[in-house]
Structure 1
Amino acid sequence: MAFALDGLIEGFYDPDAADNPEEFVKAVIAYQKKLNSSTFVPKPLNLNQEMENKRRNIV
């Protein structure tokens, strides 16, 4: 239902999943495969130094 400009899935809803996180993981993998098989290449984000430091802490 929601994804970032870089293609990262941020939200997923399936009324039949009953809050099963495994379904979210499956959706992320399926979407990544779709991106990898297409000619679409997301443009990387240009982060300022503060945001880049936060990103590195998360990763």
Structure 2
Amino acid sequence: QERAEEFISQLGLRGTGGSDAHLVSAIGKCMTRFDGDIRSELDLVAQLKTGRFEPVWLDDTKQEQA
């Protein structure tokens, strides 16, 4: 995670969350939070173009809810 964040920062890009899980327990542990609703591929493309999204790791959401 840290290496990916450093890499995209150097390139001026925004990260997305995706599960490239190497363990069964890690499946579904990360996602991408978007600013608006996504109901189609066009909505997804539009949201990605706005830049209003962020990667979220589910372990991090526990801390936010506390």
Q: Which TM-score applies when normalising by structure 2?
A: 0.26
Higher radius of gyration, 1 or 2: 1
Q: Which structure has greater strand proportion?
A: 2
Q: Which TM-score applies when normalising by structure 1?
A: 0.28
